[in-house]
Structure 1
Amino acid sequence: MARPRKPLLSTDRIVAAALVLVDEEGLGAVSTRRLAAELGVSGPSLYNHFRTKDQILEAVADAVSAQVDLSMFEDGRDWRTALRDWAVSYRAALTAHPNVVPVLAQGPGRRPSGLRLADAVFGAMVRAGWPPAQATSIGALMRFFVLGSALGSFAGGFVDDESAYDPADYPHLGQAHLLADRQQQIDERAFETGLSALLDGLGRQFAELTDSASASASASASAG
């Protein structure tokens, strides 16, 4: 009997296998030798798809970026609602794959999905009436905030040991040993608090921008 054929090696298979390794063991676990073993192929066969480990990690990062929903920028939602919904989707993708965040933090580079993400946010802000320079700043601000929220856990940084927080040394940390047990709830609430504060601030800036533009238009009309 003929032996069963192995699935053909493809870029998607390599990226999927690499993402599993990164999720389970971190970026350092990825190597062409390790991936070849995981996929049941010879090492050189990977070079038909990727020449270096860095190229593989770039593709893995782009696959995570592709998980971010961008539909809110095209379906008529106002800029503030769209920005909020996008930030929530973006963070969800990153928290599902936190070990990939250091690669994503380097910027989109030439990654197609990363560039589409940046293009969607910038384009939506400009269409909403933000000047291009401020639209760029908003994209950068949101990226800093979302990436930062996914890089680590505030609540998870405390140990589950009441004796570590002696009131004589830390009079306001008497309940800190309880934080780690409520990590997800606390971190999500912190993200929502920060996101609301950012959007409130941007909303005020946009109102000032709109008022200034209206005043200038009125002044021009009066002068005419």
Structure 2
Amino acid sequence: MGRPRTPLLDRERITTTALQLVDEQGDFSVPQIAKRLGVQTGSVYHHVDGRDGIIELLRERVASAIDPKTLDAAAPWDTALEAWARSYRAAFAAHPRAIPLLMTSPVRAPRVLEQYERAVTLLLEAGFAPRAVMPLLIALENLILGSALDLAAPETMWELTDDAPTPHLAEALAAVPEGRADQAFEVGLRGLMTQARTEREHPTQA
């Protein structure tokens, strides 16, 4: 038999299969990937640097949905940062079960590091002190990823019972229209951006 025109195994297929498994069950294993692709486990290792290498491929795949134009230096720094945050949130909200997996391992993927480099450059060129940049980006990322998980949660997260009377909570919940996750994200983003503008104009002392 001649060789198949399409290779049975490559990094793209491994990444796609790993992401499917993560979306289904929140994790993956190399034997599971091999079984789903119909190959031997050892064959997968010929294409990737083990489990850690697959995690970085997953990070690149999910992050590739973040619009790179949002960090355009031609836009005001705060407009660019907010646009990046919204695009970042949308990319990870598409694969919420990947978030715990990706956020508990160091970032090594070159294309993802390049995106962080652009965000850091944006803030430095806007006048932020170097020591203020990473706390701001980490706080923004915490908001983004928490909100991406919230988008995957049930719309009703509080089930009130007669066993614990909570009239004020009931009133507050009744006043919230649909889309609570979006509203909460906007509240958090406004607060964080207000603090960022203040820090830029009046840097705090270390």
TM-score, normalising length: structure 2 = 0.83
Provide the residue aligned with 1:7 in structure 2.
6
Using the TM superposition, give the Cα deviation of residue 40 of structure 1 relative to its aligned residue in structure 2, in angstroms: 2.1
- For structure 2, the residue ranges without an aligned partner over 5 or more in a row are none
Question: Which structure 2 residues correspond to residues 1-224 of structure 1 after superposition, within 5 A?
Answer: 5=4, 7-8=6-7, 9-27=9-27, 30-106=28-104, 108-152=106-150, 153=153, 155-159=155-159, 164-166=160-162, 169-174=165-170, 182=178, 185-209=179-203
Using the TM superposition, give the Cα deviation of residue 151 of structure 1 relative to its aligned residue in structure 2, in angstroms: 3.3
Using the TM superposition, give the Cα deviation of residue 11 of structure 1 relative to its aligned residue in structure 2, in angstroms: 0.6
- What is the one-letter code of the residue matched to 1:127? E
Which whole-Å deviations, capped at 9, do the CAs of 1:179-210 have from their partners, x for residues lacking one? 9x94xx1101110111112112222332335x
Residues 10 and 47, structure 2, Cα contact 8 Å, conserved in 1: yes
- For structure 1, the residue ranges without an aligned partner over 5 or more in a row are 210-224
Q: Specify whether residues 44 and 130 from structure 1 end up closer, same or farther in structure 2 by C-alpha distance, changes over 3 A only.
A: same
Residues 30 and 51, structure 2, Cα contact 8 Å, conserved in 1: yes
Q: Specify whether residues 172 and 129 from structure 1 end up closer, same or farther in structure 2 by C-alpha distance, changes over 3 A only.
A: same
Give the number of the structure with larger relative contact order, counting CA–CA contacts within 8 Å between residues 6 or more apart.
2
- Partners of 1:116 and 1:195 in 2: how far apart? 23
Using the TM superposition, give the Cα deviation of residue 85 of structure 1 relative to its aligned residue in structure 2, in angstroms: 0.2
- Partners of 2:189 and 2:173 in 1: how far apart? 26
- Partners of 1:176 and 1:155 in 2: how far apart? 15
- What is the one-letter code of the residue matched to 1:80? D
Using the TM superposition, give the Cα deviation of residue 54 of structure 1 relative to its aligned residue in structure 2, in angstroms: 3.2
Structure whose alpha-carbon radius of gyration is higher: 1
Provide the residue aligned with 1:215 in structure 2.
none
Using the TM superposition, give the Cα deviation of residue 177 of structure 1 relative to its aligned residue in structure 2, in angstroms: 8.0
- Partners of 1:158 and 1:168 in 2: how far apart? 12
Residues 72 and 82, structure 1, Cα contact 8 Å, conserved in 2: yes
Residues 149 and 191, structure 1, Cα contact 8 Å, conserved in 2: yes
TM-score, normalising length: structure 1 = 0.77
- What is the one-letter code of the residue matched to 1:50? V
Q: Specify whether residues 131 and 139 from structure 1 end up closer, same or farther in structure 2 by C-alpha distance, changes over 3 A only.
A: same
Using the TM superposition, give the Cα deviation of residue 126 of structure 1 relative to its aligned residue in structure 2, in angstroms: 0.3
RMSD between aligned alpha carbons? 2.8
- Partners of 1:26 and 1:143 in 2: how far apart? 20
Residues 130 and 206, structure 1, Cα contact 8 Å, conserved in 2: yes
